[in-house]
Structure 1
Amino acid sequence: MVKSSFFNATSFPLRSISLPSRLRPNSHKIEAELNKVNACEKSFLLAPPQLETVKEGLVQLAGLYNCVEDFINSPSNQQALCQQREKLIDEAVDASVAFLDTCDAARDLLSKLKEYVQDIQLALRRGQYSRIESKVSAYLFFKKKMKKDFSKCLRPLKHMERKMQSSPALLDFDDHDMLMVVKVLREVKMITISIFQSLVLSLTVPEKKVKLGGWTLISKLIHTSSFPLENDQRNNANEVERAHAALCSLLEQFQGINGGEVDTQVAKTRSEDLEISIEGLQVGLDSMRRCLVQNRVSLLNILTN
């Protein structure tokens, strides 16, 4: 769990669950997948998270959803879900819609970010200094806008978190089989919110000077400390931060702030690294989206039966 979580970590701790194998034949698989994702989340304590780590978190989360698919499609679990249709299925379907919307919004923003990075690389390769300056400026402007766009797509998750806080406690379910189903669904929902939050955090590292205005959620996701360019070499700087620092430095050179000849090599390397990382996130989100779609189909099938 990242320190800047926008839901109450003390109320909803992320942990592995223990499901009796006699009741749930695939319980060990789910528990193993939960442990993998939780272990990955520990690395998110670094600020900001590395994009490669977030990509691995998305891929592992997709693996968890594959296990959950088998779990909810078992006859005994489907019977338990149908008995609590109003309490569980409708809520699970709403959650799947919110997760899909967030996933699609993130994919669109990543595609646009990649286009800006590729435009910069093309200008750098051609040595077109005037175009380089305009492309870097456009990239930096888009990054600021991207924070606001991410805050909008995360609002449904914030609403979901509030509903989870007001929903019945696990102890309110007397049936043991039902308790296990509810526990799995809630754990998966919490960990999905956390992974999406980490994705946003990894992409919205602050600028040299950060103004935390607007909606309060995004300000919780962004660190209050700034990351000056001279600290670019810090060990925990991620790909977005390193590229941002290199491009800001390049822009300052064009504007004559630092003086001397313009050196584009660092900007080339950092932008190439960022593009590779973005492509990795796109792979993770694509895997995640396929699993979310299948999960929603399964839930709707239970609802209509």
Structure 2
Amino acid sequence: MASYHVRSNSLPSRQHPAIPEFNEQLCRLRASEATSSSASTSINCKLSGLQHLFDCLERSLLLPLNQQALSQEQHQKWIDQILDGSLRFLDICNIAKDSLLQTKESTQELQSTIRRKRGGNIELSSEVKKFLTSRKVVKKAIQKAVEQLKCIENNTFKKDNETIAIVSMLREVQGITLAIFESLLSFISGEKSKSKLGGWSFISSIMHHNRVEEESQLNDFSRVEAALKFLMSPKMKKSDSFAVENAQNQLENLELCIQDLQEGVENLFRRLIKTRVSLLNILSH
């Protein structure tokens, strides 16, 4: 996707400082999406960078000429599509929040069992099965969110040379938001995202889990699942305390990872609401 530059008669001749800042932040986010990473810090940086991009967009929306342009009737169809997309993003945020909370609660319950029993057969096995079952439920919810992303892509990203600059900015924001949500959902599902901007190959990855993965490709979620499956494996000896300790360490790491992701998703959720409200206010005047 080409770099975005604002050139429009709808904007003042002297660029507002938010415009070059917007372009710079957009380029950074695109670069981060082009670089695949299984680290939770990478996802958190993307979420934080996306919030910064929304801040730049918000300042651009305050410009009187932009507000005037957005309120014109001939641009209504584009604004309606953007508003529809923003509503779907809020739904996806809620799915992500629920998925993280459900996994966090299962993680804490399993940690408690391990601390009490240190691998005590029946109860531990039961809790591990509950955790893995919970993860299957989470992945089904993520598939629903994936379909939401497909709808946003299909409804919003048909190019039009006549689109005014501020609408182009809004659509660029939705495009990078879609890509980052793709990375987030892939991460929570325990899969490594294989797609680039605007790509959808990761859907088959989520729906058909590739069980042969290098350790370096696993993230915090998939490491826990791998450790627990090994713990329940017939090959694992009852006296193998290392496997139990490894599973406990991975669960502790996952809980910290989830806490960071929850904060990032919640902050982004509030940012999405703020931008949506700003657009609705502009249209109501």
Q: Which range, TM-score by smaller chain? A: 0.7 to 0.9
Q: Distance in 1 between matches of 2:103 and 2:272?
A: 23
Matched, 1:121 2:111: yes
Share of identical aligned residues, percent?
31
Matched ranges for 1:125-274 at <5 A: 125-127=115-117, 129=120, 130-165=122-157, 167=158, 169-173=159-163, 178=164, 180-205=165-190, 218-221=203-206, 225-227=210-212, 231=214, 234-252=215-233, 256-263=234-241, 264-274=244-254
Q: Distance in 2 between matches of 1:73 and 1:277?
A: 36
**Aligned partner of 2:258 among 278, 282, 297:** 278
| CA shift in 2, pair 1:223/1:152, >3 Å | closer
Matched ranges for 1:90-101 at <5 A: 90-101=80-91
Q: Distance in 2 between matches of 1:195 and 1:34?
A: 12
The answer to whether the Cα contact below 8 Å between 2:40 and 2:219 also exists between their aligned partners in 1 is yes
Q: Distance in 2 between matches of 1:99 and 1:73?
A: 22
Q: Distance in 2 between matches of 1:34 and 1:222?
A: 30
Partner of 1:59: 48
Q: TM-score, normalised by structure 1?
A: 0.80
User: What is the DSSP-based 3-state SS (H/G/I as helix, E as strand, rest coil) of the residue aligned with 2:232?
Assistant: helix
Q: Report the CA distance between 1:205 and its aligned residue.
A: 3.0
**Aligned partner of 1:50 among 39, 59, 65:** 39
Matched, 1:37 2:29: yes
Partner of 2:101: 111
Q: Distance in 2 between matches of 1:153 and 1:297?
A: 23
The answer to whether the Cα contact below 8 Å between 1:37 and 1:60 also exists between their aligned partners in 2 is yes
User: What is the DSSP-based 3-state SS (H/G/I as helix, E as strand, rest coil) of the residue aligned with 1:171?
Assistant: coil
The answer to whether the Cα contact below 8 Å between 2:54 and 2:271 also exists between their aligned partners in 1 is yes
The answer to whether the Cα contact below 8 Å between 2:149 and 2:178 also exists between their aligned partners in 1 is yes
| CA shift in 2, pair 1:273/1:157, >3 Å | same
How many equivalent pairs are there?
Answer: 266
Q: Distance in 2 between matches of 1:227 and 1:241?
A: 12
Partner of 1:8: none
Partner of 1:17: 4
- Name stretches of at least 5 consecutive residues in structure 1 with no aligned partner: 1-12, 207-215
Q: Report the CA distance between 1:222 and its aligned residue.
A: 5.4
- Name stretches of at least 5 consecutive residues in structure 2 with no aligned partner: 192-200
